[in-house]
Amino acid sequence: MIKKIALVAALTAALTMNVQATEDKVAEASSFIGVINMPLIMNDIPQAKTSKDALQKEFGPRQAELQKLETDGKALQQTLPTLKGDQLVETQRKLAQMQADFNLKMRALQEDQQKRVREEEVKLGKMVQEAIDAISKERGLQLVVRGEAVVFATKAVDISGEVIKRVSKQNDKAPAKK
């Protein structure tokens, strides 16, 4: 009976040490791994709002011009049923020209906006990457992965908040309008 109790105690101690060693290995490994939530970071840094506002200010007048052109075109189109003869043909031509101008200006605006948005994303991405690099170096992280690709991660390895704080401190270096 005493031998059985001693055997059970020895097995329990061995299993406990094995579990503790495994937990230590997991804790040690997790201290070298960081996880970031990039959409959260890009949404929460103040430079993103500043960038968005600058882009809105930059492209707002052109968007307003397109809206006015569209409104004028719709108003002109509503007059078509009341027109006859040369006046109808002239108005249709004017409407076709307005539609062509609208399409050309819309394409140019979209292309310019996409280009500027990419430029701003690159600037913000560089700032975020610099913060991630600095945090990784300070904490001795060997691997940082995007949280969107991770099935589970504890708060202990999530460095998103730290990245947001670090980038927010660089607010004086916010991306400026070209």
Q: What percent of the chain has pLDDT over 90?
A: 69
Instruction: Give the residue with greater pLDDT, 63 vs 9.
Output: 63
Question: Going by C-beta distance under 8 Å and a sequence separation of 6 or more, which residues neighbour residue 92?
Answer: 80
pLDDT score recorded for residue 152? 86
Contact in structure between 37 and 160 (CB atoms under 8 Å): yes
pLDDT digits 0-9 by tens, 8-58? 565 566 656 554 544 445 445 557 899 999 999 999 999 999 999 999 999
Residue 112 pLDDT > 80: yes
Q: Which amino acid is at 8?
A: V
Q: How far is CA 22 from its chain centroid?
A: 37
Q: What angle do CA 147, 149, 150 make, to 5 degrees?
A: 65
Least confident of 11-15, 77-81, 83-87, 118-122: 11-15
Secondary structure of the chain in the HEC alphabet?
A: CHHHHHHHHHHHHHHHHHHHHHHHHHHHHHCCEEEECHHHHHHHCHHHHHHHHHHHHHHHHHHHHHHHHHHHHHHHHHHHHHCCHHHHHHHHHHHHHHHHHHHHHHHHHHHHHHHHHHHHHHHHHHHHHHHHHHHHHHHCCCEEEEHHHCCCCCHHHECHHHHHHHHHCCHHHCCCCC
> What's the mean pLDDT in 124-130?
96
The model's pTM is 0.68
pLDDT score recorded for residue 10? 58
Residue 59 pLDDT > 70: yes
